[in-house]
Chain A
């Protein structure tokens, strides 16, 4: 039952860490279906449940990146399927504006992904996560907000903000 050494060993190789904001009606239930269908996906993703993708304030995404996470996924219901009729459209609009801001502040917008996953798309959720993990892996660690970045990344000048 001794796991600790193993955990430590693993953490030495860099793996991207991703936070997924999932709406409780579609995508969170879709991620549950991925589980009950036993479809594997990389363990890099942490899931945060929100009532609707429209609840995701762009500030949450910035905070997540500021906290040192390497990627963010926001996933909601398909167009037209929103439990609250139009929250996913709000989210999409916010996301479009946000990705330009990310570019401006020097964060590769590809670190932030938006997707539609319904409650019946367990396989799609696994696919979205796998693709995002692979994409973020290729981008390297998000070190824009770190005091002592381990290496220079292709993200432009490093900010010494804490």
Chain B
């Protein structure tokens, strides 16, 4: 007979405010198998855990039920508590009476009655629990970093610093990411390239880092410690081992296209590097625009290449690697111009976005750092900046703040004045959010020292009139309509998740939020970790983040990776499936439903010498989803931790309360 102890937590007033915890504890004392039941203010606190330990000793408990918050939060905590008393951690069950009871119900009597039932279910289950023993799995001490922006580079450098090999996969032809497109950085105004490009060189020259540019991760299999990843290295059409980066090919290439890096403000060739400091400094041929690939003739680049590096026959290469941990650093996109039709929706040439402005004032950008109207190349004298374009907008289903626009707009205002001292700069804003080190001071400087006109209000419309852009908006502080005749308008457009973020999330098996950003394990206590073990998040793939935040989160994720790699071997969840060969009918439905090919058929020799076929689950491959157990007709498969008996027992406990 099981000896169960029930421990009911008040969680301060979080539970006790709605559930009569004392009454619940008293009620549970009479439950079958329950030896002792008590309540306490904070079960997860040190004294709370000590009560559990003491009662295990005192009452010789062999099963424990903790009725408190969600197991997603504290299952590990209480498993460790009972483990400290020598109990198998899988003999502890939690009843979630906070998230799924006290926080969602208001009626005290109803919530109390429900809490009792939830705990009864947990008691019924725990009585059927059996000790489980975690499996040990080896670790491949190599990390995969997806995304070669500032986050991914920092993560790769930090992991490599500890001595672990890192595979850095970047989709574009060069590492560097968004930061490479920036001109200067707030609040120090040091140039982005001056701090970024040396880091790019560090990454390239680090012997522990292998960079795969122009490459994409295509599939991820396996689990923490032993992921198997397949990477498609797209054909560059240039032999990386031969190319010297002289740039002759790019000069002579006759095919010109809009540069993605310059967001359409400048041109590039069909054979190109995105920017002069690219790493690796090896061009790629854009096969969609190359005359040879589209029309079958040209081959100018091949003729001029002194290193004979051009190879039109190059094929995509598939690379398979085993890695122990994965860092997702896939970054962000800018919102679609269709989001702001009232501002022209991309129709007006002189209405640009913040990133285009960065390219324009960047000395190595398409205008060599000169502010010019895209329509006629004239220097703009009146520039209007509009913040929160597409962010904090419920109508677009995008209620969040894009976080860095307040800061980069202040930076743009300052830089505009430095480029064109007699320019008049207006900023339309809703609120100024400058909560960072030296951020508020920076915005004040833009206003006070540089004379930027900050107008609190939204812009309702922009339209063209006599070659000018009329910006019509409200100034809520003076309570009036404002109309500004502008030469150029810069929109601080929303930062959004990558267009293919869901595809990446599904590939990695990680959750994403309603805005398609990746979700961390815990927003406060595990911001770099993920519910899928072995996968870590950094940078703006989680939420809008500026450079300092991205770098900090990258280092944070790296520490988590290194901590994982510091283990001699990993402890894997013992909740896997087992097949009882005596019940198995060899129908092999389990083989069909198993998503991981964990079920195999093998031949065993019986004592009488005959060979018998038998199905077996490979422990290390099974993820414990239970699809096989649910599909097994003779009921030969047991999913440890979620056995049929446990679930039936929970269901029957509900019948008893009828």
Contact = CB atoms under 8 A, between A and B. Distances in A.
Interface of A: 1, 3-4, 6-7, 9-11, 17, 19, 24-26, 28-29, 31-32, 34-36, 38-41, 43, 46-52, 54-57, 59-60, 63-64, 67-69, 80-81, 83-87, 90, 94, 118-121, 126
A119 B647 CA distance: 23
B585 interface: no
B244 interface: no
B623 interface: yes
A121 B514 contact: yes
Cβ-closest 5 pairs across A and B? A35-B99, A55-B626, A67-B655, A84-B625, A35-B103
Contacts of A126: 104
B619 to A, nearest CB: 16
A48 B72 contact: no
A2 B593 CA distance: 51
A91 B113 CA distance: 31
A59 B643 CA distance: 13
Contacts of A119: 511, 519, 531
Given A29-B511, A41-B104, A68-B658, A49 B112 contact: no
Contacts of B626: 50-52, 54-55, 87
A1 B16 CA distance: 11
Contacts of A55: 625-627, 629-630, 639, 642
Interface stretch (B114-122, B257-265, B447-455, B541-549): B114-122
Contacts of B650: 48
A32 B654 contact: no
A28 B651 CA distance: 17
A59 to B, nearest CB: 8
Nearest to A85: B595
A50 B626 CA distance: 9
Interface in B112-152: 112-114, 117-118, 121
Contacts of B519: 119-120
Contacts of A46: 114, 117-118, 121, 654
Q: Which range contains the number of B residues in contact with the other chain?
A: 35 or more
9 contacts: A17-B658, A25-B511, A28-B72, A55-B629, A60-B647, A68-B655, A69-B654, A83-B509, A84-B595
Interface in B66-92: 70-72
Contacts of A32: 70, 72, 96, 99-100
Contacts of B107: 43
A87 B654 contact: no
Contact of A49 (B71, B502, B623): B71
A87 B105 contact: no
B104 A35 contact: yes
Contact of B627 (A9, A38, A60, A84): A84
Contacts of B22: 1
Nearest to A145: B655
Interface in B608-658: 623-627, 629-631, 639, 641-642, 644, 647-648, 650-652, 654-655, 658
A129 B627 CA distance: 25
Contacts of B110: 10, 43
Nearest to A86: B595
Contact of B651 (A24, A52, A60, A87): A60
Contacts of A9: 109
A61 to B, nearest CB: 10
Interface in B508-531: 509, 511-514, 519, 531
Nearest to B641: A51
Contact of B72 (A11, A29, A54): A29
A40 B106 contact: yes
B654 A35 contact: no
Contacts of A6: 108-109
